[in-house]
Amino acid sequence: MIEPTVQLVYCCNTCGTKDRTVTVRGRRHDESILHWMELVAMTEISRDHSTRQPLCTATKLTSLKIPVNKRDDARPGEAIDPKKPV
């Protein structure tokens, strides 16, 4: 089974990266936002940023955008299931 993904968008003022999109595994239904942010989202963003900007010395992102489903019970970072009505 293919895991659903979400696209996060980040910026870094230190190196001038603007609105860089990175695709990560979506947050699972039983997964806490803290766990997902620390172990999934930030790991992939760090990997992407250090690959694209290896000389950047930033220790923090300037901004991070996390999509939210349009459903009433949506949770930040939860993958959007195209088969479910919004």
Domain count, the chain: 1
State the average pLDDT over residues 19-36: 90
Q: Is residue 68 part of a domain?
A: no
State the average pLDDT over residues 47-56: 95
Q: Is residue 80 part of a domain?
A: no
Range of the domain at 13: 5-62
What pLDDT was estimated at residue 17?
A: 94
Q: Is residue 43 part of a domain?
A: yes
What pLDDT was estimated at residue 81?
A: 56
Q: Is residue 79 part of a domain?
A: no
Residue 11 bridge partners (DSSP): 63
Q: Is residue 74 part of a domain?
A: no
Q: Is residue 67 part of a domain?
A: no
Give the CA count within 13 Å in the CB-facing half-sphere of 4: 12
State the average pLDDT over residues 57-79: 75
Per-residue pLDDT band at 86 (split at 50, 70, 90): very low
Helices (H), 4-79: 33-36, 42-52
Looking at the chain, the whole-number percentage of residues with pLDDT higher than 90 is: 50
Entry pTM: 0.76
Q: Is residue 27 part of a domain?
A: yes
Q: Is residue 78 part of a domain?
A: no
